[in-house]
Amino acid sequence: METVRKRGKKPTEDVKATFISDGNDQYVNAILDNFEAETINYGQLIKEREKGRVVGKTRMVIFGDVDDAGIDTVYVERYNLTLRHGISRLVRKSLCFSKCKEMLDNHLDVYQCYNNLIRVNSALTIKTKKGEKNIERTPCMAEGITDHIWTWKEFLLSKRGHEI
């Protein structure tokens, strides 16, 4: 949460940040330690399991104004899957594990920069008129952080890379 606070836009009472998580109570403390409660919308999705299968879901608004239907963890679960496919250290039951937390953190940082600045996300492609080329975008382009798809060379030689 500290990293999110440092790297993200500061939420206000008018433009609140929204967080959704599982039922782990540690998130409540982490959010309140880093943000003012009146600037946050926070909901939890608690999955009920039987024999390893999800049989029900309970959605709870912890604080703020979260639409009950919007409380879901599908996006972060999909992103975790993307990370596991891209970083062998995160694969479950793998021989490729990180002995050093710092190296894992560095690997995650580089992969996330690649994923957000270099790798085109097909879900963010803007469809154009027939006969014209579609506009491919990265997540940072969709957010207005950059106006082009970065190259590895540009990323590795960037002095501002740590700020993004």
Domain residue limits at 15:
2-72
The model's confidence at residue 3, banded by pLDDT at 50, 70 and 90, is confident
Same domain? For 6 and 62 the reply is: yes
The model's confidence at residue 56, banded by pLDDT at 50, 70 and 90, is very high
* DSSP state at residue 116: I
pLDDT value, residue 160: 63
**Pairing state between β 40-50 and 53-63:** antiparallel
Q: Residue 85: inside a domain, yes or no?
A: no
Same domain? For 15 and 67 the reply is: yes
Per-residue pLDDT tens over the stretch 82-94: 888 888 888 877 7
pLDDT (average), residues 16-37? 91
pLDDT (average), residues 137-159? 92
Q: How many domains does the chain have?
A: 2
Q: Residue 88: inside a domain, yes or no?
A: no
Q: Residue 108 above 60 pLDDT?
A: yes
Q: Residue 117: inside a domain, yes or no?
A: yes
Q: Residue 38 above 60 pLDDT?
A: yes
Same domain? For 6 and 66 the reply is: yes
Q: Residue 33: inside a domain, yes or no?
A: yes
Q: Residue 98 above 80 pLDDT?
A: no
Same domain? For 68 and 103 the reply is: no
pLDDT value, residue 43: 92
pLDDT value, residue 82: 87
The model's confidence at residue 163, banded by pLDDT at 50, 70 and 90, is low
The 8 Å CB, 24+ separation contacts for 105-113 are 108/83, 111/83, 111/86, 111/87, 113/155, 113/161, 113/164
Same domain? For 55 and 103 the reply is: no
pLDDT (average), residues 111-123? 92
Residue 66 burial (CB < 10 Å; 0-12/13-18/19+)? buried
pLDDT (average), residues 56-84? 87
Residue 72 in contact with residue 60, Cβ under 8 Å?
A: no
Same domain? For 68 and 110 the reply is: no
Q: Residue 131: inside a domain, yes or no?
A: yes
Provide the mean pLDDT of the chain: 88
Last residue of a domain, one of 57, 72, 87: 72
pTM for the complete prediction?
Answer: 0.66
C-beta atoms surrounding 128 within 10 Å: 10
